[in-house]
């Protein structure tokens, strides 16, 4: 093969020939276009000798003027066409929106209507009956969005967030929603909580005012409120067996099984909780030492009784929200009187926190074998969901029967994916050794990755 220098004259020759050919083609293109314009745009004229050169010049000028006028007219018509096309495009889009809304409306109107005793959705939940009161319909049935279809929601209507199980208890639900609009709500706290515990959670909103305590006084200032018993005038006692806080404090001295029997005695066992670390009883400071100082800031106590865990954490500048039920005692009101945050939700409710947000979740006694296995596993996964990477789950005195511990619950905790920091098992003997009842306390960590 030749060198680059040997090939240069040949390349230069082909380059010159290509350039000459391109110029030739350009000249022919221009020439043919000019001839075409001349032939098709010239006005007819005679070739007789009477047509002088001045006449030819005048005719050509007239022809060019005529062409320019035609061109301007065509340009104006073209702009008009563009405007018309844009207007048509806008009308087509508007029509599409109208057709879509019409189809949505027709779809809702043409839903199959079956007899009430035959109609049920895929979950087996009966539909609302025609006998529902207007107030109940407003509370649980869908509402059209005032601005129409929302792409963000992918819907033109919104459903109030009422628990699906509410429709299984329509008679009770109707009773709950019977009141004077704008008036005082019925004193039905116990009735409402039973509905909630059966799965009707959340309950529908109501348009009435709760009864206010007579002689209400301002709460005890913080931080003294953490360990102060509030005045009896701070709550309504109608729905509870006890009619004073002193009665709640004293009931630990009387026989009978009562949930959290001594929780209201802030100078008794509550005062000593989580201060010492031994066996099943973990010390609060020892748990916090497993993480960098200051990294535990916010959390949740599930089934936190009267809020003492949150109070102890608050003393360490950690904010804990306490979930609690009012089981024959004003637990939520008592927690609030201590300057802490209560939420009135059951263990069945999805935790109202976004994922990867909480530093710690604690639960004592409430998570136990009384919860169906599938529901318990969902609850544990929900706890895992809301904990941030590296967050702690403090399982405090989980109760179960001996065979259940290794056959059911240990494998369940392994499936969730927590890392075990502490794991202690001890026999529950207060009802007799032969009962084979056990407690499990564990400190579990959500993996960082």
Same domain, 188 and 230: no
Mean pLDDT, range 370-399, rounded to an integer: 95
What's 309's domain CATH number? 3.40.50.150
DSSP tag of 269 = G
CA atoms within a 13 Å half-sphere pointing along the CA-CB vector of 70:
7
Same domain, 276 and 412: yes
Q: How many domains does the chain have?
A: 2
366: in domain: yes
Mean pLDDT, range 398-423, rounded to an integer: 94
| Model pLDDT, residue 4 | 44
Residue with tokens 């809301």: 386
- Listing DSSP states for 48-106 in one string gives STT--HHHHHHHHHHHHHHHHHHHHHHHHHHHHHHHHHHHHHHHHHHHHHHHHHHHHHH
Mean pLDDT, range 224-247, rounded to an integer: 95
Residue 385 tokens, joined: 């969901």
**Percent of the chain scoring above 70 in pLDDT:** 71
| Model pLDDT, residue 154 | 78
Same domain, 358 and 423: yes
How sure is the predictor about 8, in pLDDT bands with cuts at 50, 70 and 90? very low
| Model pLDDT, residue 14 | 44
Higher pLDDT: 80 or 172? It is 172
210: in domain: no
Q: Domain range spanning residue 172?
A: 134-198
334: in domain: yes
49: in domain: no
Same domain, 314 and 436: yes
Same domain, 384 and 431: yes
Same domain, 311 and 349: yes
The answer, yes or no, to whether residue 138 has pLDDT greater than 70, is: yes
73: in domain: no
Same domain, 290 and 356: yes
Same domain, 194 and 240: no
Distance CA 27, CA 302 (A): 90
Higher pLDDT: 97 or 408? It is 408
Q: What is the dihedral of CA 184, 188, 194, 200, to 10 degrees?
A: -20
309: in domain: yes
pLDDT per residue as tens digits for the range 43-54:
444 444 444 455
Phi, psi (deg, nearest 5) at residue 48: -70, 165
How sure is the predictor about 142, in pLDDT bands with cuts at 50, 70 and 90? confident
The answer, yes or no, to whether residue 206 has pLDDT greater than 80, is: yes
The answer, yes or no, to whether residue 56 has pLDDT greater than 80, is: no
Among candidate residues 163, 198, 233, the one where a domain is terminated: 198
| Model pLDDT, residue 429 | 85
Tell me, yes or no, if the pTM score tops 0.75: no
19: in domain: no
H helices of 177-322, in order, are 189-197, 245-250, 284-288, 308-314
User: What pairs with residue 278 in β-bridges?
Assistant: 281
295: in domain: yes
Mean pLDDT, range 123-151, rounded to an integer: 72
The answer, yes or no, to whether residue 418 has pLDDT greater than 70, is: yes
Among candidate residues 152, 180, 198, the one where a domain is terminated: 198
Same domain, 236 and 189: no
* CB burial of residue 382 (10 Å; 0-12, 13-18, 19+): middle
Higher pLDDT: 365 or 63? It is 365
The answer, yes or no, to whether residue 27 has pLDDT greater than 70, is: no
Higher pLDDT: 265 or 146? It is 265
**How does the average pLDDT of the chain come out, rounded?**
81
The answer, yes or no, to whether residue 104 has pLDDT greater than 60, is: no
| Model pLDDT, residue 200 | 86
The answer, yes or no, to whether residue 151 has pLDDT greater than 70, is: yes
Same domain, 175 and 303: no
CB within 8 Å of 174: residues ≥ 6 apart: 132, 133, 136
Same domain, 228 and 194: no
Mean pLDDT, range 341-367, rounded to an integer: 94
How sure is the predictor about 10, in pLDDT bands with cuts at 50, 70 and 90? very low
Distance CA 72, CA 351 (A): 72
The answer, yes or no, to whether residue 302 has pLDDT greater than 80, is: yes
Same domain, 161 and 307: no
């Amino acid at each position: 093969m030749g060198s680059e220098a040997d090939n240069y004259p040949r390349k230069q020759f082909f380059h010159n020939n290509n350039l000459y050919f391109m110029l030739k083609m350009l000249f022919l293109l221009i020439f043919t276009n000019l001839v075409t314009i001349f032939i098709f745009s010239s006005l007819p004229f005679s070739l007789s000798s009477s047509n002088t050169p001045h006449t030819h010049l005048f005719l050509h000028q007239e022809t060019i003027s005529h062409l320019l006028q035609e061109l301007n007219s065509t340009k104006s018509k073209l702009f008009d066409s563009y405007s018309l096309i844009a207007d048509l495009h806008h009308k087509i889009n508007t029509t599409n929106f109208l057709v879509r809304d019409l189809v949505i409306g027709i779809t809702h109107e043409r839903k199959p209507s079956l007899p009430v005793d035959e109609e049920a959705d895929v979950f087996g939940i009966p539909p609302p009956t025609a006998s529902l009161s207007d107030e109940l319909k407003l509370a649980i049935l869908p509402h059209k969005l005032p601005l129409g279809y929302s792409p963000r929601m992918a819907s033109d209507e919104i459903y109030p967030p009422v628990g699906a199980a509410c429709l299984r208890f329509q008679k009770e639900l109707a009773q709950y929603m019977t009141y004077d609009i704008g008036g005082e709500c019925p004193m039905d706290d116990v009735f409402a909580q039973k509905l909630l515990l059966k799965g009707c959670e959340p309950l529908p909103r109501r348009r009435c005012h709760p009864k206010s305590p007579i002689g209400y006084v301002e709460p005890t200032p913080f931080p003294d409120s953490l360990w102060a018993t509030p005045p009896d005038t701070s709550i309504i006692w109608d729905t509870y067996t006890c009619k004073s806080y002193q009665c709640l404090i004293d009931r630990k001295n009387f026989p009978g099984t009562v949930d959290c029997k001594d929780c209201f005695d802030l100078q008794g066992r509550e005062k000593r909780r989580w201060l010492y670390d031994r066996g099943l009883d973990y010390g609060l400071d020892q748990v916090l030492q497993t993480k960098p100082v200051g990294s535990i800031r916010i959390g949740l106590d599930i089934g936190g009784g009267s809020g003492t865990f949150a109070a102890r954490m608050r003393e360490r500048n950690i904010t804990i929200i306490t979930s609690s039920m009012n089981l024959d005692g004003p637990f939520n009101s008592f927690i609030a009187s201590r300057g802490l945050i209560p939420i009135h939700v059951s263990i069945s409710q999805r935790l109202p926190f976004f994922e990867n947000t909480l530093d710690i979740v604690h639960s004592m006694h409430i998570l136990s074998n009384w919860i169906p296995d599938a529901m318990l596993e969902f609850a544990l996964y929900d706890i895992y969901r809301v904990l941030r990477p590296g967050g702690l789950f403090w399982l405090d005195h989980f109760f179960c029967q001996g065979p259940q511990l290794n056959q059911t619950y240990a494998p369940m905790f392994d499936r969730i994916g927590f890392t075990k920091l502490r794991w202690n098992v001890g026999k529950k003997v207060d009802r007799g050794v032969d009962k084979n009842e056990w407690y499990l306390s564990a400190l579990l960590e959500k993996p960082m990755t």
